[in-house]
Amino acid sequence: MRDLRSWLRPALSGLTTRGRSFLAAGGAAAVCAVVLGQQDLLRVAVLLAALPLGCAIVLGRSRYRLALTRTITPQRVVAGTTARVRLELENLTRLATRVLLAEDRVPYSLGPSPRFVLARLPGGRRAAVTYSLRSEVRGRYSVGPLRLRLTDPFGMCELTRSFTATDPLVVVPRTWPLSPVTAGGQWSGSGESLARSAAASGEDDIATREYRYGDDLRRVHWRSTARRGELMVRRDEQPRQMRATVLLDVRPQAHRGEGPASSFEWAVSAAASVAVHLAGQRYGVRLVVDERPAGWTGPYSGDGAGQLLDELAVVDLGDAPDLNGAVTAMARTGGDGLVVAVLGECGEEEATALAQMGRRAGRGIAILLRTTAWGPATDRGSAEADENRRRAAAVLRSGGWVVTEAGPEETVRQAWDRVADARPGTEFRLAPVPAPLPGAGGAR
């Protein structure tokens, strides 16, 4: 009895408007038949009520075993581009299915949930459908689960069955191909190199160590062996590890604009471009956005750039009032090597903290966003913000940083080309640009 209720109750709750209308009409006809004493009307009532009830019973007892395979290509897509999703359903039983209405649930940012009508699927057969997803907003999304709606041929009853599996889709910020850093300071970092060994022990003892059991005797360095009185073997040269830190300003008061056309999205695109470029140049790269310590990517790992993009896909404006926490985190975990800072509205206090770090680091590059170009043209604080930016740029240059400004009218690549080959302290004089219309600009 309990098993009967377990499938009959959901089946009756799945009656469509048509099914409920037939059932109500059958009940009304039965009452009229009893009141009027009309046997023929009672037969009509039984027929009207039996049809939706019979459809609900048959549909509720239908047992389909379906397997779903969802493939997203690619699983990491750039904002504004398209990903393809392929759904493959396999009927694991010998019983053919009825016509199915499938709906794959997706987040609102990816558009409306796609729906498909799947024709009758014989037992042991497969059916596949594909659709496209596109998002202008970066983030990490879950695609699914897939829901199937089962209906009877008369449209009296409709049941919903849902899979549980979901698949991830990561929408990362747009990146630009950048020119390599060629000025001095790019080799700062930790590790060991041929030149360092030569400076420490002389040309004769370069890259040698004590003999260890199992070493190839052909690698014995006889001159060093004779000098030290013990077997010495040539050591494989270890390339110096280059390191770079990308600092992204996530202070809410440092940016202007909304959505993809905001200065913050331009900054995220710039940080992503720099991080991916340096990771491709075999740098160990870390992304710093707040006081939390950040890990380094392996310079020889296969997916270092992908890890950085995954982090930037979900980065958002924080709540820190200044950059002191981020600067402290960089200094505490090692601020050596190349430091690239993408900053919004920056004051002298933040610039001074970064300038002091720049004196300890190998090289510092700062991209100051002209945030007033993203804001309303009549903003009263624009003149003050521009003056603060000029002062911050002067403080950074005095600390040995290479500084440039960027606005919504130019691309990340254009801004980077000005600083990639520049010497520390170089000053760039940009031509004034007209004030944009409200809402203009965006990450390019």
pLDDT, tens digit, for every residue of 289-300? 988 877 888 765
SS3 345: coil
Instruction: Please write the tens of the pLDDT for every residue from 249-282.
Output: 999 999 998 888 899 999 999 999 999 999 988 8
Q: Is residue 263 within 8 Å of 436, Cβ to Cβ? A: no
Name the average pLDDT for the chain.
81
Confidence (pLDDT) at 97: 84
pLDDT of 3 higher than 80: no
- Tokens standing for 437? 């219309």
Of the ranges 108-117, 126-135, 414-423, which one carries the lowest mean pLDDT score? Answer: 414-423
Burial status of residue 328 (CB atoms within 10 A of its CB: 0-12, 13-18, 19 or more) = middle
* CA 238 and chain centroid, separation: 34
- The vertex-186 CA angle with 248 and 236, nearest 5°, equals 120
pTM here? 0.74
C-alpha span between 348 and 333 (Å, rounded)? 24
pLDDT of 194 higher than 50: no
Q: Is residue 283 within 8 Å of 425, Cβ to Cβ? A: no
Instruction: Please write the tens of the pLDDT for every residue from 221-256.
Output: 888 888 888 888 887 554 556 888 999 999 999 999
Confidence (pLDDT) at 55: 82
Q: Is residue 164 within 8 Å of 174, Cβ to Cβ? A: no
Q: Which of 1-5, 361-365, 369-373 has maximum average pLDDT?
A: 369-373
Confidence (pLDDT) at 282: 84
Average pLDDT (9-13) is 68
Query: What are the beta bridge partners of residue 158?
Result: 151
Query: What are the beta bridge partners of residue 129?
Result: 87
Average pLDDT (100-118) is 91
443 vs 135: which has the higher pLDDT: 135
Of the ranges 22-36, 124-138, 212-226, 423-437, which one carries the lowest mean pLDDT score? Answer: 423-437
DSSP 57-120: HHHHT----EEEEEEEE-SEEETTSEEEEEEEEEE-SSSPP--EEEEE---GGG-SPPEEEEPP
The 3-class SS string of 229-255 reads CCCEEECCCCCCEEEEEEEECCCHHHC
Confidence (pLDDT) at 297: 81
DSSP 164-211: ---EEEEEEPP----PPP-STTTT-EES--HHHHHHHH-STTTTEEE-
C-alpha span between 97 and 20 (Å, rounded)? 24
Beta-carbon contacts of residue 351 (< 8 Å; ≥ 6 apart)? 391, 392, 393, 395, 396
Burial status of residue 326 (CB atoms within 10 A of its CB: 0-12, 13-18, 19 or more) = buried
C-alpha span between 264 and 249 (Å, rounded)? 8
